[in-house]
Structure 1
Amino acid sequence: METDTKTFKIPWCRTKYYENCVFPYHLYQLCNNRVYPNTECHNKRHSTFLAFVKSAMFSKLYAAEEVDKPDETVPVNNVTIPTLVLERIAREYIEKESGMDRINMLFSKNHKGEESEQLRMLKFTIIQIFCVSFFMKYVPEWKLAKDDFIRENRATVFRTRIQAMRLMQDQVSLRACKAGAIFSVKVTSFSAFLLMISQLIAVYRNKTSVIEYTVAAGITGGLYRINMGLKGLVSGTIIGASLGSIAGCFAWVVFSAFNKTQDQLHLQEIISKIEVESFLMFS
């Protein structure tokens, strides 16, 4: 099959993210031949599938031709796009996009005003870390504060038992909340910085691996110990990179088991955008 090397901008992509993408002119023929290899569908210029591809990807190119022959066009209001075609078009697009395009897409919202799935997972993980770290410090600090209050007020005379219990509860709770908040802020900020760096590296590379966790943990560990001088910076980087590699192996196994790796999530996101754009065209 002869291939035309001409490329065209996709006219149906309305978002800033898609407006500079180009696809090969022969892509729709290649997809049609693979989906319908034993039929005459690919030989009919106005078949249902071909009409969809022409309308979605090459509407400007065929606009004049369709106006001249409106009776030959097949309605495409209820077109079902084969999954193979959607995946192939999405992969063609991903091959042409840059790492900065993916990073911009990470912080952009979809047609429903929702954030990307990676960013939602990141925020949910940070919230979980904050809650867990808060109670990890709150519970032991509360017990310690209660023992300190009883020891310090053995000789204190209170007017009633209720007054003593209320004063103890106020002081103990305040001390435990303060300690828990300080500890959780430190742990959450450290974890958020580490996860954000690893996520940016994974999005830029469009790949989930151990490397981004090793690099992110090394950078975060070095910055965490930078107040101790050059030795602290080096030791923090080495220890952080070692622990990050272990955590990265565990994270890679979990994400791969649940099909939540970066390349899989990004592919599904691109396919979803293509489906939305095609739906808007024919609605």
Structure 2
Amino acid sequence: MYFLKSLARRTPQGAPLIFSIGLFSKEEDKAGSNFDIVDREKELQEIKLKYEQRSDISWTERLSLMWRIDEYGALSPELNQCIFSTYISAVCGGIVGSYVETQRIMKVFLERNKYEMFKHPREAQAAVRDKWILTAYKGFFRYGSRMAILTGTYMCVSQSLTAIRNYVNPLDHAVGGMMMGAVYRFNMGPKGMLAAGVLGGIIGLQAGCIWWVIQWATGETVEERWRREYFQYRLNVELKEATQKLEDERQKLIEEGGQAKSEPYVEEEDSLDFVHGYILLARKWLVDAGILSSPITLKEDNGAIVTNPKL
């Protein structure tokens, strides 16, 4: 306690602002800033070559391939498997926790209020509803966070050891299980951590054997699977970039030198020319017949004015 108080007194005044900036900054901006380099294609080619020749590189390079983030903020195939397993376990644990806690609180509520709940049924229903919702949220967070921590610890440790070895070994999963058990009983001290670590190592060893059998049945090695997943991800990224480039009209304007192509103007033909011709012919016939007078006046050579000339 004294150490925490002294640490709080020594903390500079600008520390809260710095920590707040770090908390509210976007991960995409961080990932993008690391890849704002000219030789981006060179970096991608090096990563591709490492996945193609994974067995020829060192264990540190294989581990760095796992713990990395690309230019779009996406994780590697190895680390993505850990995150996906953690999410699934958190959701499943949260659902189980909500069910267990709500069933327990319902039994307690019925035992405490079984003689008074029928006197005011509406108030009893409202009270149990609020209690049920609050308990469901608490159970989901409690069990879900616990399962996420345990599964994340197990998957990260075992997956890192698998990346170092470049093949599945049940002992790696046993080590991951030991770490999981030690984290689970961290509040019980060294003895509790040791006992839980031994039990977790036994469970992890069994899980590692099952995982090894599944990989043997599929006939695909660790290197082949992660290479396939990486190439599939890069193919999806390239297709997305190509689609976005086609849909971006500004890119077309840049490629054309900043000038849009102007379509040639085609004058439309007047569709009423034939009607106008028939009207002129009819008017000429009426003027010749003397029914209409011509508005045109012509002057002869002798000075006489003809108001109805023969057209």
Using the size of structure 2 for normalisation, the TM-score is: 0.53
The whole-number CA distance in structure 2 between the counterparts of 1:193 and 1:131 is 16
The size of the alignment, in residue pairs, is 201
Long gaps (5+) in structure 1: 1-10, 22-88, 277-283
> Residue in 1 aligned with 2:43?
15
Q: Give the residue type in structure 1 aligned to 2:169.
A: S
SS of the residue corresponding to residue 15 of structure 1 reads helix
Asked whether 1:251 is paired with 2:279, we answer: no
- 1:107 alignment partner, one of 45, 67, 84: 67
Residue-by-residue CA offset, 1:160-186 (whole Å, 9 max, x unaligned): 633321221111221232133212211
Relative distance call for 1:221 and 1:261 in structure 2 (3 A) is farther
> Residue in 2 aligned with 1:145?
105
The whole-number CA distance in structure 1 between the counterparts of 2:171 and 2:76 is 22
Q: Give the residue type in structure 1 aligned to 2:83.
A: K
Q: Give the residue type in structure 2 aligned to 1:163.
A: E
Contact 1:207 1:262 in 2 (8 A): yes
Contact 1:17 1:105 in 2 (8 A): no
Contact 2:169 2:212 in 1 (8 A): yes
Identity of aligned residues (%): 19
Relative distance call for 1:261 and 1:121 in structure 2 (3 A) is farther
Relative distance call for 1:263 and 1:233 in structure 2 (3 A) is same
> Residue in 2 aligned with 1:32?
none
Contact 2:90 2:143 in 1 (8 A): no
The whole-number CA distance in structure 2 between the counterparts of 1:108 and 1:259 is 27
**Residue correspondence of structure 1 range 1-283 to structure 2 within 5 A:** 14-15=42-43, 18=46, 93-109=53-69, 114-156=74-116, 161-258=121-218, 261-268=221-228
Q: Give the residue type in structure 2 aligned to 1:198.
A: S
| Deviation of 1:193 (Å) | 0.7
Q: Give the residue type in structure 2 aligned to 1:167.
A: A
Larger RCO, structure (CA 8 Å, separation 6 or more) = 1
Q: Give the residue type in structure 2 aligned to 1:103.
A: L
Choose 1 or 2 for highest CA Rg. 2
Q: Give the residue type in structure 1 aligned to 2:124.
A: A
Relative distance call for 1:252 and 1:13 in structure 2 (3 A) is same
SS of the residue corresponding to residue 208 of structure 1 reads coil
| Deviation of 1:273 (Å) | 9.4
Relative distance call for 1:201 and 1:132 in structure 2 (3 A) is same
Long gaps (5+) in structure 2: 1-38, 237-311
| Deviation of 1:274 (Å) | 10
| Deviation of 1:90 (Å) | 6.2
> Residue in 1 aligned with 2:23?
none
Relative distance call for 1:169 and 1:209 in structure 2 (3 A) is same
